[in-house]
């Protein structure tokens, strides 16, 4: 451990500390700017440098998105201006850049005093950035607007400086201009971070209170908890207490990230660092919770803690039934690192044994699915994602439905569905197209503002169910890729919803049941029935495919019976070949899923479920 200096963790004057985050849209260059900062502050030398240094997971680096946040401590000596020569300690707290993780974003923001609003000078602000900007302003963060990628030929810094100034209420010349790629303007930005952002304030003598803004499971070290100390001090040998649960843990290690883990003796007011206690599950160390010291606990937790609540559900089934235990183990492992992931065993007559999983949103679902397939080598079928419905029966009984096939039978009085407040930013040429889309998805316009002469912000209330159904793809295709979307949960609404069942030869196929708006039921039924007719091979008997609401059939297709399934010739020399062919066909038959007496190939389920309505909403600008 290095000798304690004025800049050592636990001994740093809060007045020197600046805690900040960078708010940016997905490909606006946040990681590249962070890389440049790491180099300029000397915490990573050129030899160690690799692109997107802080993004640890493969999926993050490949998709260019940050799922898990991090916090890096960087020393910085002001180079210019009235504070030249001042030594500062900068904590850069990375925020997840996605709509599904709004709560995590809000906790990261709560750990900062300032935010760098980073906008691509060739593209302007996007909906998610705007949403996070509003979050930052709600958290009373000071915002430094920065235009990035000024080296690009297509950059229009003047235009977008106007836009940012309009949004934040500053002057266009207050917008800094940098290039994360070339490093131009970055030292000045670091100087401005020291000059403009407030140092943290807190009561050094009060009982310790630190806010957890991230919690990551590491195979070797157990859960690593990232905290920002608000009051008091946490020492390396303390026993800490989680205020939401009262659980007490022995502290095995604490330290800071710079940019690898560095052990320290203590963390004081305003400092940002990590704690390791040996717990194995991030659920025991939840984002937003308050950490205090067991022997001298704080009386009140810091505000803002929420339990993560799944918004979107989907059934995950192994394509090969024998992979079921493997899927369970994989989910158990992912859960260690993901407090928001929930799952329960589920049996589908059509798909076999699987799990009904709850997710924060569609990206979350997609990430989990991709990790299960990539890291655990599983082949999965997932059912169409659905939201949570609250169904009230005429007798007053209330059901929470997370799986359409469990929709109650009997007399339903009212159904409630979750709604979101959505923000769409679009060039004004496409306003009509966006409005048409939102209205078609049962949206209610809340308001519309011009951010600049040619960019419009549209605010809608939309049923969440309508957003998880290919909304984002539609939005992108109708606006030539220019529009961006953000949304946040906004309660529930009563809606005229019905459950549509799909019957194959008279038997309902649970995997295809869906809860849809009454006006869309027919369309759903016709579409899926037609799709199945093309996907299911002809059987020895005629197979009707019906879409039904209760007992009322709303659409019907027929798979005609197969009329010939016999090899014409079978001479002496054909016998071995024919037997082998038969054995192969028998194997193929075993892989069929039986729905009643109908043999349905796995591929038909996969193809019917993986519609063009892929869970794509809010994936961001990477297309």
Residues that bind other proteins (CB under 8 A): 540-541, 562-580, 582-583, 585-586, 589
Minimum distance of other proteins from residue 570's CB (angstroms): 7
Minimum distance of other proteins from residue 561's CB (angstroms): 9
* Residues contacting 319, CB < 8 A, separation 6+: 379, 380, 381, 602, 606
* Residue 69 assigned ligand-binding role: no
* Residues contacting 168, CB < 8 A, separation 6+: 117, 133, 143, 145
* Residue 27 assigned ligand-binding role: yes
Residue 519 or 574: the one with the smaller Cβ distance to other proteins is 574
Minimum distance of other proteins from residue 376's CB (angstroms): 33
* Residue 30 assigned ligand-binding role: yes
Helix (H/G/I), strand (E/B), else coil: 385? coil
Minimum distance of other proteins from residue 348's CB (angstroms): 25
Minimum distance of other proteins from residue 48's CB (angstroms): 55
* Residue 28 assigned ligand-binding role: yes
Minimum distance of other proteins from residue 318's CB (angstroms): 25
Closest by Cα among 398, 432, 434 to 413: 398
Minimum distance of other proteins from residue 345's CB (angstroms): 30
Closest by Cα among 511, 531, 530 to 595: 511
Cis geometry, peptide bond prior to residue 415 (ω within 30 degrees of 0): no
* Residue 149 assigned ligand-binding role: yes
Tokens matching residue 158: 């003047």
Under a CB-based contact definition with an 8 Å cutoff, are residues 117 and 28 in contact?
A: no
Q: At what angle do helices 102-110 and 127-138 cross, to 10 degrees?
A: 40
Instruction: Identify the DSSP state of 278.
Output: -
Residue 220 or 571: the one with the smaller Cβ distance to other proteins is 571
Under a CB-based contact definition with an 8 Å cutoff, are residues 608 and 512 in contact?
A: yes
Minimum distance of other proteins from residue 581's CB (angstroms): 9
Residue 51 or 566: the one with the smaller Cβ distance to other proteins is 566
What is the rounded (10 degree) CA torsion for 277, 279, 280, 281?
Answer: -110
Minimum distance of other proteins from residue 590's CB (angstroms): 11
* Residue 281 assigned ligand-binding role: no
* Residue 185 assigned ligand-binding role: no
Residue 50 or 563: the one with the smaller Cβ distance to other proteins is 563
Q: Burial level of 430, CB count in 10 A (0-12/13-18/19+)? A: buried
Cis geometry, peptide bond prior to residue 259 (ω within 30 degrees of 0): yes
Closest by Cα among 267, 305, 309 to 286: 305
Under a CB-based contact definition with an 8 Å cutoff, are residues 94 and 21 in contact?
A: yes
Tokens matching residue 259: 């940019």
Distance of CA 96 to the CA centre of its chain: 8
Tokens matching residue 394: 């005429």
Residue 445 or 575: the one with the smaller Cβ distance to other proteins is 575
Residue 351 or 595: the one with the smaller Cβ distance to other proteins is 595
Minimum distance of other proteins from residue 537's CB (angstroms): 11
* Residue 333 assigned ligand-binding role: no
Residue 239 or 589: the one with the smaller Cβ distance to other proteins is 589
* Residue 619 assigned ligand-binding role: no
* Residues contacting 206, CB < 8 A, separation 6+: 231, 232, 298
Residue 295 or 582: the one with the smaller Cβ distance to other proteins is 582
Tell me the C-alpha to C-alpha distance, in Å, between residue 535 and each of 16, 42, 59, 470, 599. Answer: 66, 59, 32, 21, 11
Residue 411 or 564: the one with the smaller Cβ distance to other proteins is 564
Please report the DSSP string for 75-91 in residue order: EEE--SSTTTT-EEEEE
Residue 523 or 539: the one with the smaller Cβ distance to other proteins is 539
Residue 347 or 540: the one with the smaller Cβ distance to other proteins is 540
* Residue 86 assigned ligand-binding role: no
Under a CB-based contact definition with an 8 Å cutoff, are residues 457 and 130 in contact?
A: yes
Helix (H/G/I), strand (E/B), else coil: 496? coil
Residue 280 or 580: the one with the smaller Cβ distance to other proteins is 580
Tell me the C-alpha to C-alpha distance, in Å, between residue 522 and each of 336, 407, 558. Answer: 42, 18, 17
Minimum distance of other proteins from residue 508's CB (angstroms): 22
Q: At what angle do helices 157-168 and 127-138 cross, to 10 degrees?
A: 40
Task: Report the alpha-carbon distance of residue 577 to residue 590 in Å, rounded.
Answer: 20
Under a CB-based contact definition with an 8 Å cutoff, are residues 156 and 177 in contact?
A: no
Minimum distance of other proteins from residue 324's CB (angstroms): 24
Which residues line the annotated binding site? 27-32, 148-151
Which residues line the annotated binding site for GTP? 27-32, 148-151
């Amino acid at each position: 451990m290095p000798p304690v200096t004025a800049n050592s963790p636990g001994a740093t004057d809060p007045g020197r500390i600046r805690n900040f985050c960078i708010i940016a849209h997905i490909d606006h260059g946040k990681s590249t700017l962070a890389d440049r900062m790491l180099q300029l502050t000397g915490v990573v030398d050129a030899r160690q440098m690799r692109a997107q240094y802080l993004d640890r997971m493969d999926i993050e680096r490949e998709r260019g998105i940050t799922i898990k946040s991090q916090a890096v401590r960087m020393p910085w000596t002001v180079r210019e201006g009235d504070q030249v020569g001042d030594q500062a300690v900068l904590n850069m707290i990375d925020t997840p850049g996605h709509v599904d993780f709004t709560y995590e974003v809000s906790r990261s923001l709560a750990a900062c005093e300032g935010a760098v609003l980073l906008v691509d000078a060739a593209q302007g602000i996007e909906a998610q950035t705007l949403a996070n900007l509003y979050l930052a302003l709600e958290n009373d963060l000071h915002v430094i607007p920065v235009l990035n990628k000024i080296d690009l030929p297509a950059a229009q810094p003047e235009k977008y400086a106007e836009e940012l100034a309009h949004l934040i209420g500053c002057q266009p010349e207050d917008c800094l201009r940098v290039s994360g790629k070339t490093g131009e303007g970055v030292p000045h930005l670091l100087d401005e971070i020291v000059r403009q952002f407030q140092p943290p304030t807190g009561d050094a003598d009060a009982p310790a209170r630190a806010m957890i803004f991230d919690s990551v499971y590491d195979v070797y070290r157990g859960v690593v908890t990232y905290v920002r100390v608000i009051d008091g001090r946490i020492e390396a040998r303390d026993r800490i207490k989680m205020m939401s649960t009262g659980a007490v843990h022995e502290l095995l290690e604490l330290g800071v990230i710079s940019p690898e883990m560095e052990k320290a003796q203590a963390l004081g007011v305003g400092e940002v660092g990590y704690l390791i206690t040996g717990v194995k599950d991030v659920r025991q160390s939840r984002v937003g919770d308050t950490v205090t010291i067991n022997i001298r606990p704080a009386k009140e937790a810091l505000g803002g803690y929420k339990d993560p609540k799944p918004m979107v559900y989907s059934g995950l089934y192994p394509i090969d039934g024998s992979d079921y235990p493997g899927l369970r183990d994989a989910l158990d492992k992912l859960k260690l690192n993901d407090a928001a992931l929930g799952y329960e065993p589920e049996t589908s007559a059509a798909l076999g044994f699987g799990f009904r999983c709850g997710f924060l949103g569609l990206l979350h679902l997609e990430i989990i699915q991709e990790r299960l397939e990539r890291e655990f080598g599983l082949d999965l079928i997932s059912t169409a994602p659905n939201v949570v419905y609250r169904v009230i029966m005429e007798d007053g009984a209330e059901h929470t439905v997370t799986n359409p096939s469990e929709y109650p039978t009997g007399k339903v009085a009212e159904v409630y569905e979750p709604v979101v407040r959505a923000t769409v930013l679009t060039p004004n040429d496409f306003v009509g197209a966006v409005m048409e889309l939102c209205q078609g998805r049962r949206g209610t316009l809340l308001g519309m503002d011009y951010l600049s002469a040619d960019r419009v912000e549209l605010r809608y209330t939309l049923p969440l169910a309508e957003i998880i159904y290919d909304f984002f793809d539609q939005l992108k295709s109708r606006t030539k890729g220019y529009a961006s979307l953000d949304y946040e949960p906004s309660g529930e609404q009563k809606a005229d919803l019905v459950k549509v069942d799909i019957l194959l030869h008279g038997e309902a196929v649970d995997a295809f049941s869906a809860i849809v708006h009454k006006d869309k039921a027919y369309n759903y039924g016709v579409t899926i029935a037609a799709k199945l007719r093309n996907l299911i091979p002809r059987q020895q008997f005629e197979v009707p495919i019906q879409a039904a609401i209760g007992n009322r059939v709303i659409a019907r297709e027929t798979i005609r019976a197969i009329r010939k399934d016999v090899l014409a010739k079978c001479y002496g020399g054909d016998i071995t070949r024919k037997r082998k062919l038969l054995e192969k066909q028998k194997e193929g038959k075993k892989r069929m899923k039986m729905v009643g007496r109908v043999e349905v190939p796995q591929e038909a389920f996969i193809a019917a479920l993986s519609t063009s309505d892929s869970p794509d909403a809010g994936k961001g600008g990477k297309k």
